[in-house]
Structure 1
Amino acid sequence: MQHRGEIIKEAVYKSGFPITELAKRMGKSRRWVYLLFENPTVSIDTILQIGTLIHYDFANEIETIKPLVVQDSDLTYTKEEDYWKNKYLKLLEEYNELLKKNK
């Protein structure tokens, strides 16, 4: 099974959309795009952004991709959404603690 980066690479090449233009519109370098093609854990947001730029619907490919298992210190998440939600809550708690210290 192809990973996310490979799926993006295939779609970009099939679309004929220039890598340079894709990088420019995303505010990234060409090197970043090529590294993205090798990345198995590309975020859904990035996939959707690329899909919009190259006029490609990744819906079929996204359904076949299994959820990521993300590890953060002693915590393991089975869904990417849970990881980001918990990461946000952790940062929010740390921010609130800093605000308390500075008062």
Structure 2
Amino acid sequence: MQHRGEIVEQVIRQSGFPITIIAQKLGKSRRWMYLMFDNPQVDIETILAIGKIIHHDFSAEIKELNALTPNSFEDPENPYNNESKEYWKNKYLKLLEDYNELLKQVNEMKK
């Protein structure tokens, strides 16, 4: 049976994300990443952070993650997360209204 470090390594390699980039985003070194792959007890926070970077939910492979809420996997810096859907909807509607107003002005000018 695979341990946490091996699972994380396998998923990272399948994702195609360069280990160097993941290490940089975590503020770690490549060496730290390879040592983490050998660690059977990689901490949950690290796994979640890697999951956010590579856009992967590890809860299917690591059962301890099933107890966490689904929102744990959302990236708060992502402008398209649930909290800002209303913002983008309102922005779209405003642009649509502005566009329609411009169309009216153009049609009036043609007359």
More helix by share: 2
More strand by share: 1
> How does the TM-score come out when normalised to structure 1?
0.60
Measure, in 1, the Cα distance between the counterparts of 2:29 and 2:10. Answer: 19
User: 2:33 maps to what in 1?
Assistant: 33
Identity of aligned residues (%): 58
Superposition deviation, residue 61 in structure 1: 1.2
Measure, in 1, the Cα distance between the counterparts of 2:52 and 2:9. Answer: 15
Measure, in 1, the Cα distance between the counterparts of 2:44 and 2:15. Answer: 19
The answer on 1:63 being equivalent to 2:88 is no
Superposition pairs for residues 16-95 of structure 1, below 5 Å?
A: 16-63=16-63
Moved over 2 A (4+): none
Measure, in 2, the Cα distance between the counterparts of 1:12 and 1:62. Answer: 14
User: Any unmatched runs of 5+ in structure 1?
Assistant: 66-103
Q: Which letter does structure 1 place at the counterpart of 2:37? A: F
Superposition deviation, residue 64 in structure 1: 7.0
Instruction: Name the SS for the 2:7 alignment partner.
Output: helix
> How does the TM-score come out when normalised to structure 2?
0.56
Measure, in 2, the Cα distance between the counterparts of 1:62 and 1:49. Answer: 14
Larger radius of gyration: 2
User: 2:104 maps to what in 1?
Assistant: none
User: Any unmatched runs of 5+ in structure 2?
Assistant: 66-111
Measure, in 1, the Cα distance between the counterparts of 2:41 and 2:49. Answer: 15
Number of residues of Structure 1 aligned to a counterpart in Structure 2: 65
Superposition deviation, residue 63 in structure 1: 1.0
